[in-house]
Structure 1
Amino acid sequence: MKEIKIETVLTVYDSLDELPKDVISLMQKASEARDKSYSPYSNFSVGAAILLENDEVITGSNQENASYPSGLCAERTAIFYAGAQFPDVKIKRMAIIAGSKLKTTETPIPPCGACRQSIAEYEVKQDAPIEIYYMGEKGKVVQSHSLANLLPLVFDKTVL
């Protein structure tokens, strides 16, 4: 038997004001995307903004459906659009802002498991890390230098 220790390193900022200006701008785009969320069932809206290597910014918001599994998270909406429109351009950074419409959300909210797996697909495909910033509506911002910090035991094409 062998024990394996997995360690995750994240950086936590107390507020948006502590971030570099270019990251603040991307977070603002995520916030604007969040305003376009269609989330009448959960009342939980999410916005994502992706910065591509060619400096294009792609945004997405969660889109719900009365048939719950038919909806799509903001992160996947944005990353799939980026992959469809710019298939050979690397993703540098992703910003995510999430929160309830019924109360103020101050806890940083990371991507769900399905979104982590989808982001992992692009990180593996481009053979380069995707930097991820996430937060609630206000308060602390968490930075991960790679999706691998959020999903260390990734399922990818190498196992197929």
Structure 2
Amino acid sequence: MKDIKIESTLTVYDHIDELPTDIIELMDQAAIARKNSYSPYSKFSVGAAILLENKQIVLGSNQENASYPSGLCAERTAIFYAGSQYPEVKILKMAIIAGSRIHQTITPIPPCGSCRQAIAEYEVKQDAPIEIYFMGETGKVVKSHSLANLLPLVFDKSVL
């Protein structure tokens, strides 16, 4: 038997103003997308913005449903749209802003497990990392240089 140590390295910015200008603009787009969230049940709205290699920006917001499992997170809304409209274009970066409408959210909110798996599919498909930036409504911003940092033991097509 042997132990395997898995580590992730993330970069934490104290405030959005510390980010490069292009990432601030992408975060601003995620904030705009968040306004389109349909989240009457959880009162938790999320916006995602994806920068593609062709310079297109694709937006997504969470869309809930009275039958809870039928809803879709912002990250998957955006990445599935990007995949369907630009199937051969690489995804470079993703920005995510999330927060409660009940109380202020200052903790960075990473993608959920289902979204990590969906993002992993595209990272593996394009054989290139996707930078992911995430935050609450205000406060710190976390950067992961790759989805593999957030989901190190990925389940992908290689095991099928």
TM-score (norm. length: structure 2): 1.00
Q: Which residue of 2 aligns with 1:75?
A: 75
Aligned partner of 1:41 in structure 2 is: 41
Post-superposition Cα deviations, 1:24-49, rounded to whole Å, max 9, x if no partner, equal 00000000000100000000000000
Shift of 1:75: 0.1
Letter in 2 for 1:16: I
Aligned to 2:122: 122
2:152 maps to which residue?
A: 152
Q: Does the alignment pair 1:139 with 2:139?
A: yes
Q: Which residue of 2 aligns with 1:8?
A: 8
Query: Which residue number corresponds to residue 28 of structure 1?
Result: 28
Structure 1 position 2, deviation (Å): 1.1
Q: Give deviations 1:68-124, integer Å, cap 9, x for gaps.
A: 000000000000000000000000000000000011100000000000000000000
Letter in 2 for 1:109: I
State the Cα RMSD in Å: 0.2
Unaligned 5+ segments in structure 1 are: none
**C-alpha distance in structure 1 between counterparts of 2:141 and 2:47, whole Å:** 14
Gaps of 5+ in 2: none
Q: How high is the TM-score relative to the length of structure 1?
A: 1.00
1:105 — aligned with what? 105
Partner SS, residue 94 of structure 1: strand
Q: Percent identity?
A: 77
Q: 2:6 & 2:159 partners in 1: Cα distance?
A: 20
Aligned positions, number = 160
**Aligned equivalents of 1:99, 1:19: Cα separation in 2:** 20
